[in-house]
Chains A and B, each alone.
Chain A
Amino acid sequence: AQSVAQPEDQVNVAEGNPLTVKCTYSVSGNPYLFWYVQYPNRGLQFLLKYITGDNLVKGSYGFEAEFNKSQTSFHLKKPSALVSDSALYFCAVRDLKYGNKLVFGAGTILRVKS
């Protein structure tokens, strides 16, 4: 199984509506989970991470994610989407099976329409 999966190639949402970008993982041991965002022609920027502690993690730009061990998920959420949130979002996980390497999902394009 893939270490990390983002089941949606693209998510469309209207401005002001809540958004969810899905991520599931399959790793040995406790996962270290990350979300990064990539704007056009830019490098990836860190949004948030879960290592240990509270399952609900708050990050940059009003984003949050919930670590759900039973569902092996780490979905990214925001209560009210902005047009400027439109970008490519990557979930990543450290999988001990591959040493300390960070494995990235295939990415999900988020389009927020006004």
Chain B
Amino acid sequence: DTAVSQTPKYLVTQMGNDKSIKCEQNLGHDTMYWYKQDSKKFLKIMFSYNNKELIINETVPNRFSPKSPDKAHLNLHINSLELGDSAVYFCASSQDSTGANVLTFGAGSRLTVL
């Protein structure tokens, strides 16, 4: 069983559309994250949830809306997609939110906006 699984793995869509990426972890972790990796491979945190509560909300356009229905799931919805949203989005989880624990990453969801 994959520890952190994201779907879909690839998304290709037109500007202006809305899309969602789903993430699930079966590790029993309390904390989940969304990271964005751009074309230069730079990795930046977007959001973090601890037990379904939002604890990190970086300077991200409000077109991006995370939702955590329970602590095992963290979804990312993106409205009105723009060219600059093209990137690989990684979901991750950790045991807690102290920053001392290892992050387990999903395989990534590559979003291409045309």
Residues in B whose Cβ lies below 8 Å from that of A49: 102
How many positions in chain B have a CB within 8 Å of any CB in the partner chain?
23
Residues in B whose Cβ lies below 8 Å from that of A38: 41
> B41 contacts which of A32, A88, A99, A103 (Cβ < 8 Å)?
A88
Q: How large is the interface on A (under 10, 10 to 19, 20 to 34, 35 or more residues)?
A: 20 to 34
Is the beta-carbon distance between A100 and B98 smaller than 8 angstroms?
yes
CB closest residue in chain A, given B90: A43
CB closest residue in chain B, given A100: B99
Residues in A whose Cβ lies below 8 Å from that of B92: 43-44
Stretch with Cβ within 8 A of A (4 or more), from B14-22, B61-69, B75-83, B105-113: B105-113
Is B25 among interface residues, defined by CB-CB distance under 8 A? no
Is the beta-carbon distance between A51 and B90 smaller than 8 angstroms?
no
Extra inter-chain contacts (12) besides given A41-B107, A102-B45, CB under 8 Å: A34-B102, A42-B107, A43-B106, A44-B90, A45-B105, A46-B102, A90-B43, A100-B98, A101-B48, A107-B41, A107-B42, A107-B43
A-B contact pairs, 29 of them (CB 8 A): A34-B103, A36-B103, A36-B105, A38-B41, A41-B107, A41-B108, A42-B107, A43-B90, A44-B43, A44-B90, A44-B103, A44-B105, A46-B102, A46-B104, A49-B102, A51-B100, A88-B41, A90-B43, A99-B56, A100-B97, A100-B98, A101-B45, A101-B99, A102-B103, A103-B45, A104-B42, A104-B43, A104-B44, A107-B41
Chain A interfacial positions (CB closer than 8 Å to B): 32, 34, 36, 38, 41-46, 49, 51, 88, 90, 94, 99-104, 106-107
